[in-house]
Amino acid sequence: MNNQPLLEVRNLWKSFSHKEYQIEILKGIDLKIFKGNTIAITGASGVGKSTLLHILATLERPTKGKVFYKGQDLFQLSSDALARFRNQKLGFVFQFHYLLPEFTAWENVMLPALIAGWSEKKAKEQARRLLQEVGVYHRRNHRPGELSGGEQQRVAIARALVLEPELIWADEPTGNLDQNTAEKVQSLLFSIHQKTGITMIVATHNLKLASLFAICYELTQGQLIRKQC
Ligand SMILES: Nc1ncnc2c1ncn2[C@@H]1O[C@H](COP(=O)(O)OP(=O)(O)OP(=O)(O)O)[C@@H](O)[C@H]1O
């Protein structure tokens, strides 16, 4: 068995400086994520969950510390290489879907594949398969404004999966949805993990969502504390 973590975080610190003061958000985080793990990071509002997720997903740089992906020190990469890494290996689902309003559901899902150089035929076929999988194929020709919140989030999940990432990052993926719709999106995310074995990390207030995950941490006072899911 390969014991190398997919992602490893060593002594991660993050502070934000203001004119009069500095705030330390992350204070020496260590974490190992193995292939196929499902990890939920919970914690009070403002504690730094999004900041941590953004650094682990290389969207933001830490003040100090390192993030390794399969042993590669990510922040040593050039910004072009880092952008390529994100496009090829990572999928993102945010609280707000960030779908492009002028494109249909189908086009929104295809777009990352077209940008990555896939042929239109292959991108279209992959998007069709994913729209079916997330249950919105019947709305494929609707623009985001013509979809419900839950449908928009399903399209965003399909888009996150289109390039077959190794790791899915989700930041409050159900934060903007009513309870019923949130539960459907939760089960969808989880069923995707069950089918594909994809590694999934979510930051959330939602303890019900966290309870579906195998490994749970609470972020508190800049530290990650392992807890029961
Ligand atoms: N760019 C920034 N500059 C200064 N302070 C920031 C910046 N980004 C975040 N912060 C501060 O860092 C803290 C952590 O923010 P973060 O968004 O990571 O929290 P969170 O746990 O995800 O919160 P929530 O659950 O409410 O979304 C907050 O106090 C926030 O005001």
Radius of gyration for the chain, computed over Cα atoms and rounded to the nearest angstrom: 18
Walk along the chain (229 residues) and give the pLDDT tens digit of each residue: 568 999 999 999 999 988 888 999 999 999 999 999 999 999 999 999 999 999 999 999 999 999 999 999 999 999 999 999 998 899 998 887 789 999 999 999 999 999 989 999 999 999 999 999 889 999 999 999 999 988 998 999 999 999 999 999 999 888 888 888 888 888 888 888 888 899 999 999 888 889 989 999 999 999 999 999 9
189 contacts 157 by C-beta, under 8 angstroms = yes
**So what's the pLDDT on residue 205?**
87
**Edge-to-edge order in the sheet of strand 167-171:** 90-93, 167-171, 199-203, 38-42, 215-220, 223-227
Number of domains in the chain: 1
Within-domain flag for 18: yes
Cβ neighbourhood burial of 228 (10 Å; 0-12, 13-18, 19+): exposed
CA distance 167 to 38: 10
ipTM, two decimals, is: 0.94
- Nearest protein Cα to ligand 1, atom 3: 16
Q: What is the DSSP letter of 229?
A: -
Within-domain flag for 79: yes
Within-domain flag for 1: no
* 17 CA closest ligand 1 atom index: 4
* 205 CA closest ligand 1 atom index: 25
The CATH number for 89's domain is 3.40.50.300
* Ligand 1 lined by 25 (C-beta under 6 Å): yes
Q: 116: CA distance to ligand 1 center in Å?
A: 32
Within-domain flag for 193: yes
Cβ neighbors of 153 (< 8 A, separation 6 or more) are 93, 97, 173, 174, 176, 177, 181, 185
- Nearest protein Cα to ligand 1, atom 28: 46
Alpha-carbon dihedral sign for residues 29, 66, 171, 202: negative
Q: 205: CA distance to ligand 1 center in Å?
A: 14
Q: If we measure between CA atoms, which residue out of 60, 78, 81, 39 comes closest to residue 170?
A: 39
Amino acid type, 35: K
- Nearest protein Cα to ligand 1, atom 10: 16
Q: 124: CA distance to ligand 1 center in Å?
A: 37
* Ligand 1 lined by 96 (C-beta under 6 Å): no
Q: Which domain holds residue 110?
A: 7-227
Within-domain flag for 165: yes
In DSSP notation, 114-160 reads HHTT--HHHHHHHHHHHHHHTT-GGGTT--GGGS-HHHHHHHHHHHH
**So what's the pLDDT on residue 175?**
84
Within-domain flag for 159: yes
In DSSP notation, 53-78 reads HHHHTTSS--SEEEEEETTEEGGGS-
Within-domain flag for 146: yes
What pTM, to 2 d.p., does this model score? 0.89
